[in-house]
Structures are given as C-alpha cells and as structure tokens.
Structure 1
Amino acid sequence: MAFDRGFINVLLLGLAFMLVFTAFQTWGNIQKTMIDSIIADDPDFKGNAYVSLAIVYVFLAVFNWAAPSAISILTAKYSMLIGGITYLLFIASFSIPHTALLYIASAVVGTGAALIWTGQGNYLALNSTPATISRNSGIFWAMLQFSMFIGNMFVFFAFKNKDTIDSSTRQVVVWTLSAIALVGIAVMVFFPKPPKKDESDNSPDDRVEAPSGPVEALKGAVRLFLTTNMLLLCVTFIYTGLELGFWSGVYSASVGATLNLPNSKELIGISGIFIGLGEVIGGAAFGILGSKTIRWGRDPIVIGGFVIHVLSFFIIFLNLPNQSPIGETNDTAFITSNAYLAILCSFLLGFGDACYNTQIYSILGGVYASDSASAFAIFKFTQSVAAAVCFSYASYLNLYGQLGILIVSAILGTITFVLVEWQTKRLLVEAASNVSVSEYSAESPEPTS
C-alpha cells in the first residue's frame, strides 16, 4: 500500500485545528456566562457576548473576500498560522476585561478567521483527490469537533459546584485555553507542503480557473459566487450559519439560564461535551464510510441531518422556556424542563451539524477542487453573515422565534443542497457516458471500402 502523504497532512491539519478550537469553541460556548460574571464583578464593564460574536462573524464575512488573494501571496500554511495567532490573542484579551478591548479583539479574530478557514479549505483540497475528499473531510471534521469534548470537559470541572464564576476561575480558564491554542499554532508551523498530484487525480471542472494572483483570485471568487450552483449552495450555507450561531453560542447558554434545571451552570459544560460528541461521531462515521457515501451520494446524509435537527428543535421547543436565550429565568416550558432531554438535544445538534458540514466540505473540495480557495471563502462568507445575523437577534428574540427561523432555513437549505447534488451526479453520469462512447469509437476498426 502506497504511503499517503496527503492523508498524513490532513491528520496534522486536524490536530492543529483540534487544539486551536479546543480553546476557541469552548470559549464561544461559555462566553455569555463568562461575560455575565465579569459584569457582576465590574458594573463598568458593558460588554455583550452576542454582540462580540456578531462582530467576529461580520469581520469574518467581509474579509473572506480578501482571503483567496491573501492565500495566493502567503500560501495556505502561513494564512492559517496568522489566523491561529489572532484566536490566541482574542482569548488572552479576557485576562484584562475591558469593553473596548472586547470588541477590538472580536474584530481582529474575525479577520484572522477568514484567513484560517479559507486556508484550511485550500490545504484540505490540495491534500485530497476526488476519491479521498469525503474521507478526509469526515476525519478532519471529527478531529476538529473533538475539541468540543476536550474543552468542555475542562469547563465542567472548572465550573463544578459553582453558582457564579469568580475572577480566579475566569483567569484559570482563560490561560489554560490560551496555552492549548498556542500548542495548536506550534503544530501549524510544521505543516508540510501538499504532495504533487497527477492530472488524472483532478476532477474535470471548467467552471472557474485557478487564480494566478491576488487580483485574479478576487475576480475568480466573484465569478464563482454568481454561478447558479453556488448561489443554490449559499442557501445551505446560510442555514449552517444560523444553526452554528444557535449551537455554539445560544443553546448551551439557554440551558445554563434555565434555573428550573438542576445545577444549570454545570450543564453548560456537559452540553458542550455532547455537542462535540455528536460532531465527532458524525464526522468519524462519514470519514470511515467516505468511499461508500460517495457512491450513495451526499444527499441522503444531508437529508438525515435535516430530520435530526428538526427533531432536536421540537424537543428544545418543549423542554426550555421561551425567555431562556435572553437571560436567567424561572419560567416553565411546555413540559417540566429535563436535563437529560437538554443533553440529548445537544448531541442531536452536533450530529446533525456534522451531517451538513462534512458533505459541504466534500462537495466543495471535490466539485470545486480547481478553485478551492474561492469556494471555501464563499462558504465561510455566507455562513458567517448568517451567524452574525443569528447573534444579532439572539439577545432580543425569544427561543420560539429563533427555532422558527431555524426550521424554515433548514427546509430551504436542504432542498437547495439536494438539487445541486442531483445535478452534479447527472453531469458525472453524462461525462462517464461520453468517455465510454469515445473509447468505443477509438477502438472500432475503420470500415473498408
């Protein structure tokens, strides 16, 4: 069996992102709780967790358009390295809480996120072939989301038996997560160059040519964005952004704000662990079964993710009070709020998210392999705009309104993904048929006169 350098590079990529996002995703899960505790200690601090996260995703969306140009100059490796450093600076900034610093750091990490995520998509595509992209996407996603398990396990013990989060606990959490992010950045320093590919490894893709420089990269991204299939996929990207905002910043905080749940603050960490567990199991399953899911198509997995998410939204609707996203509440839900149901929904949210994201990575890395930097930049732009919108209304819109938006966007996003996948499969069948006809014609003897 030949040594697969590309697969080793994907494992290194997954390890680095697992470490960096052990820090960042864990912080996002607890940021509202941490900021509320800072406000309780320091009334002069006026920061808002949802506003901070909205700023992150606005800057991520805006600078995504410049990311392909930056990658054409810096390369994917150094783009990810610079982006990783901004994540470290963002988390470390909470060691000296200041309202202006919070929002400046949010803008900085949003800019860095554009670099790290577009670079990641490009590096993943460069280390994959059409035959390995589903496997590599699934394994990367599982390793990335394992960060939710590690970080939130730490948070569970850090918050154990605490009704309020004191300053010393905050400092321990901030500096522990910062140290983990630093190790992830160190791994990025040692990323190898992607292996050279044979032309036969590349799928035929004549939609957009690979850019030759920063200006062409920007033009190519705009041209790709305006193609029919990409516009349809953007509807799917919007849904993943809305549900990303919900599970990463709203849901666990809502569980923690539901005072009818026993030890609700401890449940924040447990919720994050089970979101991560769902992500890891989903990503690993689709990674291990990558060769089979390519044959079945991506659409059954996305449809499965849709069913799982709708089920979780319905249980959340019954189990949590309407005011829980806005602040601590003793209100009752439709049923008696149950911790086990809340944690089950955490798992379902994570698993469903893995269904969508692994297949999006697969379709972008496979169908748009020749222009992966632009494709992933568009994905992150659209997803980030939607996440920013989610965090913008999270402070004001009650739970039922947020769930209603998620259900409508899930229906539309699933339909558009399935349409694009069906068209992609039809084009592949036609291309294979044409190749067969051409080979038959070439092998047929010339008629004699």
Structure 2
Amino acid sequence: MGGGGQVDTEVSSNANVALYTLFSVGGLVAGGIVNIIGPRIAMAIGASTYALYAGSLLSYNHNQNKGFVISAGAILGLGAALVWTGQGAILTSYPSERNKGKYIGIFWAIFNTGKDLALADVLRSGAVLGSILPLALNWSSTAGSVNDGTYIGFLVLMIFGSISALALLPPSRVFHQDGHPVQVQKFPTWKAETIEVAKLFLDWRMIALSPMFLASNWFYAYQFDDVNAAYFNVRTRAFNNLWYWFCQIIGATVFGLFLDAAFLTRSMRALYGLFIMSLFIMATWIGGLAFQLKYARGDKINRDLFDSGYGGELLLYMVYGLNDAMFQCYAYWIMGALTNDTSKLSRYNGFYKAIQSAGAAISWRIDAVGTAYLPQLLICWVLLIFSIIGTFAVAIKVKDTNYDSEGVVDNEIISI
C-alpha cells in the first residue's frame, strides 16, 4: 500500500529500518534455528510476528503510537528471518536440478495470489489478495490512509497463516518422484554452524552475488513509498499493487519454466536468463527515470485511476513487478545451481536474506530522512547494474550438473 497505508510514511519507513536491520542479523543465525527446530515450528513462530505488525498499524490509526509500530517492526524482522530461511531451504533443496526453476516459479506465483492460504498467508498474506482486500475496503475513499477494516482483515489472515504453518509436513515425510525422502540435515553444534556461516564471507561466489542480494529489496522503498504512496491516492495505490503482484505471478511462472528449459544446458540457461533479465531491468528503469522527472518530493499529486494518462503510469508499475519476480527467481535459481546440499543451501539462503535485509534497511532509512526521489531512483539503478556484473561472474561458472561432483545420483532420471 505504500507507507503502511498511512498518510505519513515516516513511521512505516522507520519501522522498516528496524525490521530489516533485525532481519539482517537474524538471517545469519536463522539457518541453524530452522535446522534444529524444523521449518514447521520456525515458520509458525516467524509468521505470528506479521500479525503483531499489522496490529501495531491498526493501533496507530487510533493513538499514533510510533514506538509500538517501530518495535513491532523490529520483532517482525526476527520472525521474518525464520519464515524466509525456512522457505528458502525448502524451495532450493526439495526439487531435483531439473525442476528448481519450476518450483521457484510456482512458489512465487502462490506467494502472490493468496489462493493457497496454507502457504501464502504464512509468507505474505498473498500479495494479490493483499491488494484486493484494501482495494475493496477503500474503493470509495480518496483519502491518503486506509481504514481499520483493512488492518483487521490482514490481522485475521496473518493469524490464520501462522496457525496453518503447523500443517506443513516435516522434511522426512516429503518424497521425491523416485520415492526417496528429502532430508534436511541438522547442524552438529552451534560452534560448527557459526564457523560455516563465517566461511560464507570468504566464499567468492557469495561475495560476487552480494550486490544482487543487496539490490533485491532495495528498490521496494522507492517503488512503494516514492512512486505508489507519493503519486497516487489510496484506492489507486491498492489498484496498482493488484497489478504489480499479478505481473509477478506471470513473470515468475514464465521465467521459472525458462530456467528449466530442457532444450538448453543449465550453463546456457544461467547466461541467457541473466541476459533476458538484464534487458528488462534496463528498459524498465529508463522508463522509470522518464516518469520520475515529472514530480519531486513534496508535490501533492493524489493521482486517481480514472485520471487521464493513468494507463501509462500503471504499465510502468506493472513492469516494476515483472522485473522483481524475474530478479528474485533468478537469485534463488542461481543459489540452487551452486549445490544440492541442503545444509549449504540453508546457509546460502540465510546469507541471502541477511544481505538483502541490510540493503533494505539502508534503503528505507534513506527514504525516511527525506532524500529526494531522483537520487533514490539512481541508487537503485546503479545497484542493479553492479548486481548484473557480479552475478555474471558466477553464472559463467555454473555447471550442467552438481550430482557428479557431490557424489549424488539423480534418482529421478534412474526411475524414469
């Protein structure tokens, strides 16, 4: 909704700084926690903190208690680390090499539809559902903040999502196509896990991918607060988000299938996928620059979806969503292409979320202190360019399979 659905975006921006700061710290230790208590419990605990944050925004509608919102954001950061590390470990370790792109695409589609409440609510209440809800409840409103019903709706969905996470099967009861169970290894000791996490900072592949990890959530502050919240009224913001997340469904599904394309080797898909994604990114941010030159921070615009010329602005916002889906899917896929080892993938995902969240914390803080919109756009764009360069260094080293080097047989191929 931009600004947490509020007129004053400062409080939500500061809450996001607290959220992503704690998310960054939590991401470094969440891998060990998930492997010890299991993804089911970890994700249920983590998801409950989303409900707390929604409740703090409901409270803010009545008492303007900034401290509660910021504190809830910090707690949410720790909870989100558990949710996303558990999700990432499942997403990149359950599928075989031939299906990782498809699994990632399916996840991102579910994540953004809200149709599957048992999974999507745990992760984000389903972004499309999360846009339809405020759109319906605020359709007749041209004000700048959303009503209580919006936050209550989110609160109920998030509580249900937290409880439904308990329905997830333990990894030992999940089976590949050939009948072999998926096992998520537990770490032997906290000391050993700490050493393994520290080694990630010396892994050249993680260092090269760090710009991509850093950029992957950086642009949210700009897109949600400096474009959507700054330029449009509340019902148009909800309408924009509906299409933003819908385009993510399309982008994730199509791009995920491409990353599994059988007519290309995996090493070729790594390079072609990066090239296609880069073209979309460059074209989109050129359009974004042209749009940003139309207004500046402090302008009172309150643009409505029925205003003349809105269609082009909506198209830009839709393509922002498409770019995001491709970027996030490729990030997961490239990590999954590095190894099939579940313990390594758990650490990779925790590291990914830690760097990603550190970037988001910086980005939201830059926005919270009132930085002009144009410099924020340029920072986002430059980071994306550096991420493409760093990712290319890893993509050219992607092997067609890791099964031989890791001493693992592709049982699915044998079963066929």
Normalising to structure 1: TM-score of the pair?
Answer: 0.76
> Partners of 2:84 and 2:355 in 1: how far apart?
13
One-letter amino acid matched to 1:302: L
Aligned partner of 2:332 among 361, 364, 368 = 361
Deviation per CA, 1:395-423: give whole Å up to 9, x if none. 32222111111221111101211220111
Residue in 2 aligned with 1:161? Answer: 140
Aligned partner of 2:235 among 266, 269, 272 = 266
1:402 corresponds to 2:376: yes
Deviation per CA, 1:412-438: give whole Å up to 9, x if none. 101211220111238869969xx9xxx
1:418 corresponds to 2:392: yes
1:118 corresponds to 2:85: yes
Structure with the larger helix share: 1
Deviation per CA, 1:12-60: give whole Å up to 9, x if none. xxxxxxxxxxxxxxxxx343442539xxxxxxxxx62211111111110
> Partners of 2:401 and 2:94 in 1: how far apart?
24
- Say if 1:227 and 1:365 are closer, same or farther in 2 by CA, change over 3 A: same
> Partners of 1:114 and 1:420 in 2: how far apart?
25
> Partners of 1:111 and 1:225 in 2: how far apart?
21
Residue in 2 aligned with 1:105? Answer: 72
- Say if 1:191 and 1:428 are closer, same or farther in 2 by CA, change over 3 A: closer
Deviation per CA, 1:165-217: give whole Å up to 9, x if none. 57xx5210111111111222232111012235699999xxxxxx973233322
Contact 1:72 1:217 in 2 (8 A): no
Post-superposition offset of 1:345 = 1.3
> Partners of 2:302 and 2:131 in 1: how far apart?
27
> Partners of 2:150 and 2:168 in 1: how far apart?
28
Post-superposition offset of 1:348 = 0.8
> Partners of 2:373 and 2:226 in 1: how far apart?
9
Aligned partner of 1:178 among 155, 168, 178 = 155
Tell me the number of residue pairs that the alignment of Structure 1 and Structure 2 aligns.
377
Residue in 2 aligned with 1:385? Answer: 358
One-letter amino acid matched to 1:152: S
Residue in 2 aligned with 1:77? Answer: 40
Pairwise mapping of residues 147-158 of structure 1 onto structure 2 (< 5 A)? 147-158=126-137
Residue in 2 aligned with 1:188? Answer: 165
One-letter amino acid matched to 1:265: V
Contact 2:340 2:402 in 1 (8 A): no
Q: Please state whether the residue corresponding to 1:425 is helix, strand or coil.
A: coil
> Partners of 1:114 and 1:191 in 2: how far apart?
18
Pairwise mapping of residues 110-149 of structure 1 onto structure 2 (< 5 A)? 110-146=77-113, 147-149=126-128
Post-superposition offset of 1:125 = 3.0
> Partners of 2:167 and 2:4 in 1: how far apart?
34
Aligned partner of 2:219 among 232, 236, 243 = 243
Post-superposition offset of 1:61 = 0.3
> Partners of 1:197 and 1:218 in 2: how far apart?
30
In structure 2, list runs of 5 or more residues that go unmatched: 114-125, 410-416
Contact 1:149 1:277 in 2 (8 A): yes
One-letter amino acid matched to 2:278: F
- Say if 1:319 and 1:148 are closer, same or farther in 2 by CA, change over 3 A: same
Post-superposition offset of 1:347 = 1.1
- Say if 1:429 and 1:418 are closer, same or farther in 2 by CA, change over 3 A: farther
> Partners of 1:366 and 1:303 in 2: how far apart?
17
Contact 1:68 1:214 in 2 (8 A): no
